[in-house]
């Protein structure tokens, strides 16, 4: 059972590491260059996202706990798969 938990933790860590990272803002062009639409966007306040680690999701914690205790329920698996599909859905390709 502990090997399964280790694999689950490794999967969640791998998915979390694949997420967006913080980048440095690109400096505006020199004063003598003509500003354009990109300069206008870069001059605005930095955008915020609502990226959250899967490991912090309550459904993931419940899934892991019940996996360790051998008490997996169908609704817990459904919640787990729902959260996982939301996380990887935008990155999967549909034919």
Distance CA 40, CA 61 (A): 42
- In terms of Cα–Cα distance, which of 6, 4, 79, 86 is closest to 51? 86
Position 95 scores a pLDDT of 43
Q: Does 21 have pLDDT greater than 60?
A: no
Alpha carbon distance, N-terminus to C-terminus of the chain: 36
Lowest mean pLDDT among 26-30, 43-47, 86-90: 26-30
Position 31 scores a pLDDT of 56
What backbone torsions phi and psi does residue 44 show, to the nearest 5 degrees? -75, 160
Q: What is the pTM of this model?
A: 0.41
């Amino acid at each position: 059972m502990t090997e399964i938990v280790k694999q689950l933790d490794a999967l969640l860590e791998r998915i979390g590491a694949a997420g967006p990272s913080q980048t440095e803002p690109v400096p505006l062009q020199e004063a003598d260059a003509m500003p354009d639409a990109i300069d206008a966007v870069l001059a605005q306040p930095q955008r915020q996202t609502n990226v959250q680690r899967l490991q912090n999701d309550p459904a993931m914690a419940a899934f892991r706990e019940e996996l360790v205790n051998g008490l997996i329920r169908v609704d817990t698996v459904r919640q787990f798969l729902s959260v996982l599909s939301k996380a990887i859905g935008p990155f999967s390709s549909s034919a």
